[in-house]
Structure 1
Amino acid sequence: MNPRIPLVGPEGLDADQKRVFDAIAGSRGHVVGPFLGLLHSPELADRVQNLGAFLRYRTRLGARLSELAILVTSRAYSCQFEWFAHEKHAREAGLPDGVIEAIRVGRRPDPMLPDEAAVHDYAQELLEKRQVSDDTHARATAAFGVPGVVELTALVGYYTLLAMTLNAHRIGPPNGEAPLPVAP
């Protein structure tokens, strides 16, 4: 499937696009996926990448739990690029293969560590029901504190923004890979 919009590359950028492109490349090492579309609006791309730099690398959740929330979000939106980009990071961060595979095929992982269950259930419920129950919220708050739950909510929202951007504009993984099966 081809993208619906031209993807912005390093050539032919105006000054604003170049500044943001270089900032993204500097903090992430490369410019891929949603940013190749978002760069059509350099100010938006810049604001999105700044928020993402915090949510991806600096929350109280740490890499393993952040990647878990990202995979749950990717699965909820059947976002091929997002899954492709983060499955490897999740493994590297220590998320067990069984947890990753269960999410990939649309099942609740079992077993999970208590902190993984708190993140999974919070993200899944928020994505499915657009809210969370008192019990789910209380378990996440007990595990991560109020600041951690606020950051978890923002992380899910941020990767929802990216998934919507990728899906709406059909920005997929390289070589047309499709690591996610059709949503259950």
Structure 2
Amino acid sequence: MSDQHPVDQDPARGRVVGGRFPLLDPTQLDAAQQSLYDTITRPPRTDGPFLVVDDDGHLAGPFNAMLHAPAIGEALQSLGSSLRFGGHLPARTRELVVCTVATILSSDYEWYAHSRVALEVGVDEDELDALARGEIRPSLSSAEAAALDLATALLAGRGVDDAVHASAHSHLGHAGITELTVLVGYYQTLAGLLAVGDVPAPSRPPDATPG
């Protein structure tokens, strides 16, 4: 990951930058935007280790972008909530996959947010360092390694070969493969929103950052 983006204000100061997406004033939202805003700013999403809403009420990162198209944003946030809070993949596996998406797509914001979540669910700093280099640590389980192999194949866009699929299926089953594939697609979509909006991460995380 490059350092081409300016670093946003310290999250402790409670302000965010919208990049090319103008920050929407929470007092000026229409009904659809207000409904989406209210959903995003409720727990459990706001209980996490990264900034969701600032001291002025502005939504951070991809959430502000979602407000600009609230019907699509509602569908997106619902999918994201289902994956993060209602999915069946182990939390470590989920966050290892999300951090892999962030690494491969050079998404500073996704790495900022989900490296923090990863640390909370038991991924250690050495494992994050390895992901930032595109490597898999021996400490990862065979199921986690199979999940990362599948995620990497999906992001390469050249199809999934039989060996990668068979390994993933043996550890995750059809349900797990479905969830993981949608997980990769969801965070690939958010990375695209962040890239087109040139949205900077609020700060560097206290762990490795790809690049």
Aligned length: 181
TM-score (norm 2): 0.79
Question: Could you tell me which of 56, 66, 70 is aligned with 1:42?
Answer: 70
For structure 1, list consecutive stretches of 5 or more residues without a partner in the other structure.
none
Amino acid of the residue matched to residue 7 of structure 1? L
For structure 2, list consecutive stretches of 5 or more residues without a partner in the other structure.
6-16, 47-51, 53-58
TM-score (norm 1): 0.90
Percent identity over paired residues: 36
Question: Could you tell me which of 39, 42, 47 is aligned with 1:23?
Answer: 39
Which residue pairs with 1:113 in the alignment?
A: 141
* 2:164 paired with 1:136: yes
Question: Could you tell me which of 26, 30, 51 is aligned with 1:14?
Answer: 30
1:7 offset after TM fit, Å?
2.4
Aligned-residue Cα RMSD (Å) equals: 1.8
Q: 1:131 to 1:109 in 2, by over 3 A?
A: farther
Amino acid of the residue matched to residue 183 of structure 2? L
SS of equivalent to 1:6: coil
Which residue pairs with 1:158 in the alignment?
A: 186
Q: 1:124 to 1:109 in 2, by over 3 A?
A: farther
Post-superposition CA distance 1:95-141 (Å, at most 9, x none): 23222111112333344211210111111121124421111111111
* 2:32 paired with 1:4: no
Confirm or deny: 8 A CA contact 1:59 1:148 kept in the other structure: no
SS of equivalent to 2:101: helix
* 2:91 paired with 1:75: no
SS of equivalent to 2:42: helix
SS of equivalent to 1:7: coil
1:88 offset after TM fit, Å?
1.2
Q: Distance in 2 between the 1:73 and 1:119 partners?
A: 12
1:79 offset after TM fit, Å?
0.3
1:52-131 map, 5 Å: 52-131=80-159
1:62 offset after TM fit, Å?
2.1
Q: Distance in 2 between the 1:19 and 1:147 partners?
A: 31
1:10 offset after TM fit, Å?
2.0
Amino acid of the residue matched to residue 117 of structure 2? H
